[in-house]
Every structure is written in structure tokens, then in C-alpha cells.
Structure 1
Amino acid sequence: MRLFLLVLFLLLGLAQRLTVPEEVARSQVIRKALPAVVRIQGTTPTPSQDQVVGTGFFIGPSRIVTNYHVIQDLASITVRLANGRTLPAERFAVDPGIDLALLTLRGGQAPGVLAFSKTPTRELPLGMGVVLVGFPYGQGPLASYGILAGIGPLEVPTPDPSVGAEVGEYLYTDAPLTVGNSGSPLLNLQGEVIGVVSDVVGGPSGIGGIGLAVPAELVAQSVQDLERFGIPQRGWLGASLISLDELPPVLLRAVGLTTAQGAMVDQVEPGSPAARAGLKGAGRDAQGRLVALGDVILAVNGQAVKDKAAVVRLIARYRPGDRVRLTLWREGRRLEVTLTLIARTRR
């Protein structure tokens, strides 16, 4: 018996020596994440049958994080837990600006939960190993592995520009992911969530594409707001914008603008920070045609802006009570206006 135990001990030791430490860490992360990840499915208002639509994960006993676009058009939502049980869930709060939704599980509790990393986004080292766990094509839960390939803004258009418009920068990864992975947790090798998978650019990741994840730093802030207020509390102008490159050049030249870099204020919402700061919207005739330019935003706190998306992303970095300086072009001259951000109104 002693000889058997000795041989077993030696074999286990040999196995450990032959296992790369990163493989051990990766395996432990996957094992920890599996109980916390759920398959989200639901029906549309005119359903033909239940359909698998994405992934989510528990951050509390009954609270699930997923993408807003996953549940956006669903009339009913159910989730399948790691133990195979299928239970109903309902929307708790949503944040389309960063493509985030919180769900509440009904009739059960989480078999496992995941925590957000507290490491600031800009301190995440490029090339670090990352793991994601989800339901590609509805199968799984399945895990994949890759690296953090980059951090930065999204430069290509998205199918719905209103969803995720306030994400200033994404995490990019080459970890394979595809349809059904939306809402998957992107994890570091300590098992912490560093991002929430939202999309793939250029095709399935690892097959001519690259995966995108909303940074945990931004998600955690939004979760805190949604839990407390029911709505996000990021910076908000309260004005609709039009990118200058969408406007006729003749209108720009008429007010002395020689650049197409910037965003025009089209309409100003009453009572908004834009209205309180005196921003001027565009003039339109009875048919809604543009006849006079509104204020043109050239920079936010000294940082030049390319288009309306850049303005929204920069403003979204701030919180209610913050003061933000806008560089404007109005009636042929440059001026600066300072506005104070306020909490968004509940809709």
C-alpha cells in the first residue's frame, strides 16, 4: 500500500511538473466560471419558437449581466443554469449606451457568481491571457482562450449606432467567439471579469475577425448606477448631434468652417445641460430641411472631436456635477462654453 501511494505521489508530481502554470490557471478560471454562466433564450412578440439568443453571467444571487442587444426585442426571457435548470428572468434595468442589461432570476439562485476586476482599463497589459465562457451557437457552456489584443475606440460602423454609442474604448481579443457569445464574461487568469463580450468585427473571432468587449470598469460603474437609480449616470449633453461630414460643404463654408471635423448641435432638449449652457440648435423650415447651422462642437475639454460619436464618448466619461468645457464654432467665430452635467431624467 505504501509503495502504491509513493508511486501515485510521484506520478502526480510528474504531472504537475509537466503542466504549464498558465494551463493550470486557465483550467481553474474555467472551472470557477462555468457555474456562473447562463444561456439566455426568449421569444419575440410574434414568436415561432423559443430561440437561443446569447449568454449572461451572475454577479449576485439573482442578478445577471448580459448585453442589451441580446434581450432588446424579447417579450419573455428564460435562462438555463449550469445545472440544467431553466428558469424565468425579467429585465431589471438597461443601459443601451454601453449595450448592457441587468436581469433578475425568478425561482432560484445562482450556482456561482463572478466579480469584476478593479484594475483600471488602461493598466491592463496587452498580450495578457484571457478566457471567455459562453454559448456559441447555443452550445455549451464552452470556453475559449486568447490574448488581450488591444484597447481603443471602435472605428467601424455598427449595425445599430444607438447601442453602445457611449463606449469610449473597447477591449479587443483574438479569443474565438461567435453568435451566441454576446454577454459572455471576458476573464483574466485570476478569474475576474475584465470585460463583457459585445460583438465581433470582421467575422467570427479567430476566423478573420476580432472580438470586442465592454471594459469591466465601465460596466461596474453602470451596474452601480442601475442598482441605485435604475438609469445610467454618465455624462449627457441633452442635444442631438450631426457629424459635420454628413452636412453639405456649402453650408460649412457659409459660416467660415474649413474643416469637416466636428459635430453640429441639431436639437436641444429643454432643461438639459446643453440648454442651460445656452447651446443653439439648427434652424429648419416647415418641411424639416436644414436652413441654418446650430453650434458646432470642435473640442471637449480641449480634445478635438472627429464626429458626433466622439462627442458622445467624451461626454460619457464624466459624471453628474462635473463641469465640461466645449469649444464651439458659432456664427463665424470660435468660443468656449462651460456646462455642468446633471443626472439623466428617468424615462
Structure 2
Amino acid sequence: MASNPLSRTFARRLTLALAIGGLAFAPAGATSAQDANNSQGGQSNQGQTGSGSAQTAPDTAKKVPQPGTNKPSALQQNGPASVADLSAKLLDAVVNISSSQNVETGDGGKVAPPKLPEGSPFQDFFNKFFDGEGGQMPPSGKVDSLGSGFVIDPSGLIVTNNHVIENADDVEVTFTDGTTRRAKVLGIDDKTDLALLKVDAKTKLPYVSFGDSDSARIGDWVMAIGNPFGLGGSVTLGIISARGRNINAGPYDNFIQTDAAINRGNSGGPLFNMKGDVIGINTAIISPSGGSIGIGFSIPSEIASSVIGQLRQYGETRRGWLGVRIQPVTDEISESLDMDHAEGALVAGVVKGGPVDNGSLEAGDVIVSFDGKPVKEMRDLPRMVAETAVGQTVDMVVLHDGKRKTVSVKLGRLESDDASAKDKKSDDTKKQSDNRILGMSLAKLDPQARKRFGIAEDVEGVVVTDVDPNSAAADKRIAPGNVIVEVAQEQVKSPDDVRKRVASLKKDGRRNALVMMADKSGELRFLTVQMD
């Protein structure tokens, strides 16, 4: 996880931390010598012979093995199979990435630091800018981020996580030989948290290639290489613990879970299979302390390769769009629709002017198959559609009035903001009057709002009453009941305050707004929200 405290890290007891990634194998222990006192053969059996003399029976005691007398097995002698040869081939293609953002903090007046929970990952950030309680804040400063990346083309194309370089004014790449080069951002995709960089390469660079993450199985060995805690190229080993994980990081979650150690600074680094192919990009961890506890998440190459290919070709993503609003099919819904079991995505509405606004789909239909692939649950469909080329015609199997039918649809293009971007722009004046800002409906935090959302009395700010599910705010996991405490490091108390701060940021040419959010209990987190 990049050390940048502005990355998508949650300040809560069990933190889902963006990995802004070993498993150490102990050699098999040598068998310990048995205690001579426990041997059973050292006793004498005495008896009377014909001559009356006593004789001792032959000694049948087991001799205690002496050190070095037993030859150890190959496993005892050498440990598990080494990955030294494999890692040696790959290390030079993995790079360290540092980015910095110039932060304008105003006139340098006296500012009280925000209240943060003990052990919050943001504490170091505030210690850097505040000198004790009510300290003096400098008029400007730099926020630094450290992460990892990997070269995918000898000409200097580098893949990393978007949160490693998000909003950065400067991005530098450091190679294993110590060479540092400034990088240009060719494109980003915040929905999958991927970014493509370019450095000027005077010679051909070592590079790695994407592999087939679909063929990876639970239990397969994997290796992570990255820049944990800013230490430089480090190798860790583990297995694939699970696949298809949804950690609510974005609309297309389908993470590989691994126990290979992933820590702060590993974000953007590669996850290799034992062939040396990149099957994942290390992105997030679950950890109460910010360090690895063996639960890390990687973006599978099946998603990453497609996104990076579009960023390379167009500088942006061009995703397919179906033009429907969907919701999960619960057991109750499946029973009411006389389905054998809960599956698919329930069509809750059709977007006017969209690809299926011709009667081919209706509210209440259930999409159970898309382009020959089963839709097992609702969250599968957006990813399938997004990965399909714009303008392609696909067949869908739909459950309509209890019967299955096949529908052919020519996909449109998903706008960068959301499926209803055009409607948003045309309805901007109305949204202003409705206190809708950045895809959120806002209201003053009055007693009625506190009671409605169960917000603690010591929380102050502007309450979020509704969030457009397709907005940038939703992508950042802002939810009704959250409270906006500050925008661009200025306190806000009304929706109008938020609007003014956003307008000021736009006037200054900013693309994103830095927002301090509080949950119902008052725990804080920073995030950046893209402005229209």
C-alpha cells in the first residue's frame, strides 16, 4: 500500500487498506535424538545356569543416534524448492514508483488538527503538517506516495495502481540499478484502480508479460515482487487463497486473494505464477495494523490486460454499455418469479435512449446469460458488459414472464462518469436547487437528520442523504449517512459551503476535490472525488 495517507485506506478496526506488497519457509527439522533414559534395551536378564554361574543376556538396547550419523533427506538438507532462478529473471522488470502532489493549504493560519482514532493510518500525515494541538500549518506542502509497478514493454511502458499516482504532480520511476526517470501518465482507470505510465528508455528495458489468470487455481503457488515500506525490490511467496473476491473497491471487483505477503508499498506490483507470467496486480490488503496478515488482493490479469490495452491505444477506457438499472435476485424474488433458484441480474429499469430502449428488455426481466456466459449473480453482469467492445452485438438469455428467451443487443459506450451523464448535464440547474453536488444529495446536519441516520452528536458537517449509484462519489463508497466535514481542507456546514468550495476548485483547474468524510460514529477518512 502506498504510504500516501490520501489513498483509499479505511480508518477502522479491521482495515481494508490499499496496499500503498513472505512467506518464510523453515527447513524441515532434523529428528531429535531420543533420550537414552527412555531406551528399553539396557536392562540385564539374570538367570541360574547348570553350573550355578550367572550369565548376562545379549544387549538388545537401541543405540541413540549420534549427530551427523544419519544422512538427512534432500528436503531436510535443502528446504523447499528454490524460486531464486525465477525471481532473478523477473526482478529487473519490477520498479519502484514515487509520486508527489503539491498541496495548497491557504494562508497558513492557525488550524486545529482533526480528531482521529488512536492508531489511525492518517496520523503520520497530520503529524507532518501540524505542530501539536492547534499548530501552525504551512501555506503549502508536498504529499508523497510510494508504490510499485512493472514494465510491460521494452520501450518504457509501466503498469501500476491508479491510487499510487492519483492527483500526482510528479511521478518518478526507480529501476533496480538505481536509475531514476520521470514518468508521464498515459492513462488511468479509477474504476479498476489501474494506471499506465511511460518513461523515456534509452535502451530496451527488461519487461514481463500478462498471463492467463483464468487458468490459475486455488492452491497454486504465486510470487509477489514490490517495494514494501519503501525498502526496494522484495520477493514474497504464497498461494492463491481464493478467487472472485468482492471487496467493494469498485464496480468490477473480481480479485485474486493470496497469502503471499503484500504490504504498504506493494501497490501496483505484479503477482506472478510459477511460469513468470503476471496474473495479478497487487492492490489491497485486510489488516488491523497496515502490515500483512496473509490476506491480500490482486486485480486479475483478465481484467487488467484489457484495461491496459485500452489505455495504451486510446489513453482512456471504452467500455460497453447495456443501458439498464439492475439489482440482485434474492431468494424471495426468485420464488416470486417461479425460478428454480436465485441467479442472474434483475432489470429494475431501462435507461431512456439506451441500447435496449426498444422493448427488447423490460423491468422485471432477469438476465441469466450474457454472450454465452452464465450470469450467476448481479455483480457479474456489469463486468461482463464493460469488458465487451463498444458496438458489438451480443446474445443474452433473459427470463421473461417465466419463460426463457434470447435477445440480441448492440452495446453502446459507457460514458466516463456514468450511464446517465447526458441527463446530468441537462438537468444541472435543477440539481443545484436540489442540493445535488458531485452525485450526492446534501443537507444540513440538523437534529432530524441526526435521528434519521443515527449520527453521533459530536459529528459536525454536511450530511449525505442520497448518492447516485453511478457517480464518482459512489465509486469512492460514499453512502447516505456519511458526513462531509471538510472540502479542500476547509470546514463546511451547509450544502452551499460545499458548492462554493467545489466551484473554487474548478476555477483553479483542479479535477478532484479532497474531502474529509466522517461516518455515523465520527471516524474520519480522506478521499478524493472527481468533479464533473
- Tell me the TM-score normalized by structure 1: 0.70
Of 57, 60, 83, the match for 2:150:
57
* CA distance in structure 1 between the partners assigned to 2:210 and 2:312 by the alignment: 15
Equivalent residue, structure 2, for 1:86: 180
Alignment match, 1:12: none
1:154 aligns with 2:245: yes
How far apart in 1 are the matches of 2:411 and 2:316? 13
Q: CA deviation at 1:133?
A: 0.8
**The one of 270, 273, 278 aligned to 2:355:** 273
Question: Runs of 5+ in structure 2 lacking a partner?
Answer: 1-73, 105-140, 417-532
Q: Deviations over 1:19-39 (max 9, x none)?
A: 46730xx11222222221122
Closer/same/farther in 2, CA of residues 84 and 337 from structure 1, 3 Å limit: same
Per the alignment, residue 211 of structure 1 pairs with 296
Contact 1:146 / 1:173 at 8 angstroms: preserved in 2?
A: yes
Give the letter for the 1:323 counterpart: V
Residue 98 to residue 157, structure 1, CA distance change in 2 (3 Å): closer
| Secondary structure of the corresponding residue to residue 142 of structure 2 | coil
Superposed displacement of residue 337, structure 1? 6.5
Is residue 129 of structure 1 aligned with residue 186 of structure 2? no
- For the structure 1 residues 279 and 146, does the alpha-carbon distance in structure 2 shift closer, same or farther, using more than 3 Å as the test? same
CA gap of 1:94–1:279, structure 2 versus 1, over 3 A, is: farther
One of 387, 395, 411 as aligned partner of 1:342 = 411
Contact 1:237 1:273 in 2 (8 A): yes
Contact 1:222–1:232 (CA<8 Å) still a contact in 2?
yes
Distance verdict in 2 for CA 1:18–1:333, change over 3 Å: closer
Q: 2:230 aligns with which of 124, 138, 160?
A: 138
Structure 1 window deviating more from structure 2 (27-36 vs 120-129): it is: 120-129
1: CA distance between counterparts of 2:263 and 2:221? 19
Q: Is the 8 A contact 2:102 2:142 kept in 1?
A: no
Contact 1:243 1:264 in 2 (8 A): no
Q: Per-residue deviation at 1:243?
A: 5.3
Contact 2:245 2:257 in 1 (8 A): no
Shift in Å at residue 267 of structure 1?
Answer: 6.5
* Residues in 1 aligned to 2:358 and 2:173: alpha-carbon distance in whole angstroms: 44
Contact 1:300-1:315 at 8 Å conserved across structures:
no
How many residues align structurally? 297
TM-score by length of 2: 0.48
Q: Look up the match of 1:38.
A: 95
Residue 42 of structure 1: how far off its partner (Å): 1.5
Residue matched to 2:32: none
Equivalences for residues 108-257 of structure 1 within 5 A: 111-117=205-211, 120-150=212-242, 152-158=243-249, 161=250, 165-167=251-253, 169-202=254-287, 207-241=292-326
CA distance in 2, matches of 1:277, 1:101: 38
Contact 1:43–1:74 (CA<8 Å) still a contact in 2? Answer: yes
Structure with more of its chain in helix, by fraction: 1
Of the structure 1 ranges 32-41 and 232-241, higher mean CA displacement relative to structure 2 is found in: 232-241
Residues 346 and 112 from structure 1, CA distance in 2 versus in 1: closer, same or farther, beyond 3 angstroms? Answer: farther
State the structure with more CA Rg. 2
Greater shift, 28-37 or 42-51, is seen at 42-51
Q: Secondary structure of the equivalent of 1:313?
A: helix
Asked if the contact 2:151/2:159 (under 8 Å) is kept, the reply is: yes
Q: Tell me if structure 2 keeps the 8 A contact 1:176–1:204.
A: no
Deviations 1:249-308 (A, max 9, x none): 9xx9xxx779998455456264x434466556xxxxxxxxxxxxx55645344845544x
Instruction: Spell out, residue by residue over 1:211-241, the C-alpha distance to the aligned partner (whole angstroms, 9 max, x if none).
Output: 1112223322333333334444554324454
* Structure 1 residues 116 and 300: CA distance shift in structure 2, 3 A: same
* 2:453 corresponds to: none
Relative distance call for 1:174 and 1:68 in structure 2 (3 A) is: same
Aligned equivalents of 2:101, 2:349: Cα separation in 1: 34
Q: Give, in angstroms, the shift of residue 138 of structure 1.
A: 2.1
Q: Is the 8 A contact 2:227 2:266 kept in 1?
A: yes
Whole-Å Cα distance in 1 between the matches of residues 169 and 323 of structure 2? 30
Which amino acid is the alignment partner of residue 222 of structure 2?
A: V
Offset at 1:62? 1.1
> What RMSD, in angstroms, separates the aligned Cα atoms of the two structures?
3.7
Q: 2: CA distance between counterparts of 1:43 and 1:258? A: 56
Change in Cα spacing, 1:77 to 1:343, as seen in structure 2 (3 Å) is: farther
SS at match of 1:340: strand
Q: Which amino acid aligns with 1:225?
A: Q
Gaps of 5+ in 1: 1-14, 281-293
8 Å CA contact 1:130, 1:187 repeated in 2 = yes
